[in-house]
Chain A
Amino acid sequence: MSRLFAAIMASLLALPPAMAATAPAKAPTKLKVGDVAPQFSRRDLQGQIFDLKAQRGKLVLIDFWASWCPPCIIAIPHLGKLQKQYGGRGFQVVGISMDDSVDTTRETMQDIAFQYPVVLGDARFGNLYGGVLGLPLQMLVGADGRILAIWSGELSPTILDKAVAAAIKKPG
């Protein structure tokens, strides 16, 4: 009996990734302000490991973007400016590329200088964050790891600036 169980488990574990990707998935939980930002740790495209948990104590802006998304591309220099301005005060931007191909992201990164780490996302990552079903999408995560703000669609730099400045000033 245990051998049968072991055989079944072994065959399940041996399923190719493509099958896992096509299996029907349950609806992801939609994130809201106050939720803990889901943990992730991935090697960024600059070669370092980006671990969200290691950012505790910092204010983190998670920027979901893609090379095909004009408003996302336009926002990148401003995010870089914020990183430079507040990086020394515990602020960290991380870009999550939702491009279909890493090559596309790398091409864009050759054209635009990113002042912050960029991680390649995918459908699984999108589901982890409640479903990334349109861009731009940005989330501001507080020092305690909880989501302070979620912005879907084009975001005015003024609104972002105010939110970051206010959260940076906040004690604790």
Chain B
Amino acid sequence: MRLAALIAFLSALLLAPLGASAASGDALTIPATVQMQPAELAAMLKSENPPTILQVGFHVLYEQAHIPDAVYAGPGNKEDGLLNLKTQVDALPRDKLVVIYCGCCPWEKCPNIAAAYNQMTTMGFTKVKVLYLASNFGEDWADKGYPVTRGG
């Protein structure tokens, strides 16, 4: 009986994320054409016109380390997080190149990134790129020696 209850709870957790949560979607639905590899973004950071970068995950991770100049705009799995994202990008031209990333957990388990991507496309952004972090931000970005800013 307890096992059945646990399975029901986990199913609810995975399929219909927590009460006040937004519909997070599934990172596997994000088209490969909009995904960006870490090395590509790292190179863009050195360019004259780096893109706008938004971290759409959790603040405790952002505070430890984030991509330089990335703005906190999450979490994507909550209604108030999506509202935060909307507020951060509302004034931007819809053809502006914007990169979003999370990296809280393995790509296919991320509760934030797909919801944030869907929000951006719904708002009419035509050049949204999604940083592909297979395992997490630590392993796929910070540990690879790409630049980070700490604090915030």
Interface, chain A (partner B; CB < 8 A)? 21-28, 30, 66-74, 77, 98-100, 107, 111-112, 121-123, 126-127, 131-136, 152-154
Contact = CB atoms under 8 A, between A and B. Distances in A.
A66 B106 contact: no
Contact of B13 (A73, A134, A154): A73
A93 to B, nearest CB: 18
25 contacts: A23-B151, A24-B149, A25-B150, A26-B150, A30-B143, A68-B104, A68-B112, A70-B10, A70-B105, A71-B105, A98-B60, A112-B6, A122-B60, A126-B64, A127-B150, A131-B65, A131-B142, A133-B103, A133-B136, A134-B139, A135-B136, A152-B136, A152-B139, A153-B139, A154-B106
B152 A133 contact: no
Contact of B111 (A23, A68, A100, A126): A68
A30 B9 CA distance: 35
Q: Which of B75, B77, B103, B138 lies at the interface centre, i.e. has the most chain A CB atoms within 10 A of its CB?
A: B138
Interface of B: 6, 9-10, 13-14, 18, 58-61, 63-65, 75, 77, 103-106, 109, 111-112, 135-139, 141-143, 148-152
A76 to B, nearest CB: 10
B36 to A, nearest CB: 18
Contacts of A123: 60, 63-64
Given A22-B152, A27-B150, A121 B136 contact: no
B7 to A, nearest CB: 10
A22 B9 CA distance: 37
A21 B6 contact: no
B149 to A, nearest CB: 8
B150 A134 contact: no
B142 A136 contact: no
Nearest to A113: B2
B104 A153 contact: no
A164 B109 CA distance: 26
B60 A153 contact: no
Contacts of B64: 28, 123, 126-127, 131-133
Of all A-B residue pairs in the complex, the 7 with the closest CB atoms, nearest first, are: A134-B136, A133-B138, A123-B63, A25-B150, A134-B138, A126-B64, A133-B137
Contacts of A66: 58, 104
A72 B10 CA distance: 11
Contacts of A99: 58, 60
A22 B151 contact: yes
B136 A153 contact: yes
Contacts of A21: 63, 151
A69 B103 CA distance: 11
Nearest to B10: A74
A103 B83 CA distance: 20
A14 B30 CA distance: 48
